[in-house]
Structure 1
Amino acid sequence: MTDTSRPLDIDTVQAFVLIADFASFTRAAQALDTSQAAISLKLKRLEERLGYRLLERTPRHVRLTLPGEQFIQAARTLLQAHERALGDMSAPPGRRLIIGISDHVAGPD
């Protein structure tokens, strides 16, 4: 059963998506500039958190399980929302310039 009281870790979800995209723990680790062992641990924790095995691993292949296929789209949506939220916060707040002019300067109607 899934524990919904704790939020998912963004870095862990990103690791899962990269493993699935590259079909490789090694390439995902390289993309995240970390070790393969760290990526494996992240995936293990995510699978334990969700209560499902997300990837089938063999010495030569990595592929999504049925629960992995079901979770991957939600994972991508979560990462996109996270990127949008960070993007919204990185833009400087807009500034307004208000110019007023006196009737004396502008002249009569």
Structure 2
Amino acid sequence: MRPKLLAAVLCLTLFGCASKQVVPTHNESRVQAEASLKAAESAGASRVPEAAQHMEFARQQIADAERLLVEGEQEAADMRFRQAEADADLALALARSIPLEREAQRATQQAEAARRSLQ
């Protein structure tokens, strides 16, 4: 009888753990948002106007989230941290892509000018 009871308790425990939804804590969200912001800063996002704007959005959202944490609004703070992370990620992507796009445009213009001069 005991082995069956032990097996049943073990199965229920495992089932309960497996069905528990894992939700990141506000601290994890904060760390991810700040890490994304630092990555954008190190990629030079502040020198690209389009990216700098999204970095500012991310900073504001982090500040708002911290204020919400003080007020006890955990879920709202978590959402702001996630929004900050998304804006910082966008700033990073823009910091990398816009200079490359400008360089490609310059190369295209030079190639077009060279083609015209050969004609």
| TM-score, normalised with respect to structure 2 | 0.32
Higher RCO, 1 vs 2 (CA within 8 Å, ≥6 residues apart): 2
| TM-score, normalised with respect to structure 1 | 0.34
Structure number with higher strand proportion: 1
Structure number with higher helix proportion: 2
